[in-house]
């Protein structure tokens, strides 16, 4: 899929801070939207989708979703998670959590695809940020999903370099949080 095909007749979802150093949501509207949660946003935007965003769109399409919304455990933009803040910015994490909740509610999203891979281990605070996101969403009766097998460390696989033909699989988020975090 090229840049032109991802941008053709698309109504974009895009929310960032004024400086564009934090991104809270990037996606495409549709009648049936899936939420995808990664670790942190890169430089992708509606004008310039990256390979991860292209993978999310392909896999969402394959699974019958005509829209998708990309969220992240932590909102700081970095092409490499090693460049993330050494310590959590609690205000940014709180805004991110609330933006995810508000967006999922407003878009009537029912399915959440977890897709952070082992990158969650790059900063200790990411696990606490994930717990915060889960806590705010757990009463929403969402369907938690992954693609393929978890990583060797037990984390949901990252979508980059995954084939389009990846069915979503049920995932026990509560058990994951108890066991892995």
**Overall number of domains in the chain:** 1
User: Quick one: pLDDT at residue 5?
Assistant: 42
Look up the domain containing 35 and give its range.
Answer: 3-180
Q: Which two tokens stand for residue 38?
A: 């990664």
Q: What is d(CA 29, CA 9) in angstroms, rounded to the nearest whole number?
A: 11
Q: pLDDT 10s digit of each residue in the chain, 181 long?
A: 334 344 456 799 999 999 999 999 999 999 999 999 999 999 999 999 999 999 999 999 999 999 999 999 999 999 988 899 999 999 999 999 999 999 999 999 999 999 999 999 999 999 999 999 999 999 999 999 999 999 999 999 999 878 889 999 999 999 999 986 6
User: Quick one: pLDDT at residue 9?
Assistant: 65
Q: Going along 120-174, which residue ranges are E strands?
A: 143-147, 168-170
User: Quick one: pLDDT at residue 8?
Assistant: 54
């Amino acid at each position: 899929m090229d840049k032109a095909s991802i941008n053709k007749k698309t109504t974009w979802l895009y929310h960032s801070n004024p400086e564009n150093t934090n991104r809270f949501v990037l996606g495409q509207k549709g009648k049936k939207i899936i939420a995808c949660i990664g670790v942190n946003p890169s430089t992708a935007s509606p004008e310039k989708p990256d390979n991860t965003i292209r993978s999310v769109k392909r896999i969402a399409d394959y699974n019958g979703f005509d829209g998708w919304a990309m969220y992240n455990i932590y909102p700081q933009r970095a092409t490499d998670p090693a460049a993330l803040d050494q310590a959590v910015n609690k205000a940014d994490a709180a805004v991110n959590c609330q933006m995810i909740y508000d967006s999922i509610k407003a878009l009537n999203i029912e399915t959440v695809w977890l897709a952070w891979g082992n990158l969650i281990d790059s900063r200790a605070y990411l696990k606490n940020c994930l717990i915060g996101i889960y806590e705010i969403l757990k009463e929403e009766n969402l369907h938690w999903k992954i693609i393929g097998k978890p990583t060797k460390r037990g984390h949901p696989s990252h979508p980059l370099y995954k084939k389009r033909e990846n069915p979503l699989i049920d995932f026990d988020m509560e058990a994951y949080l108890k066991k892995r975090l």
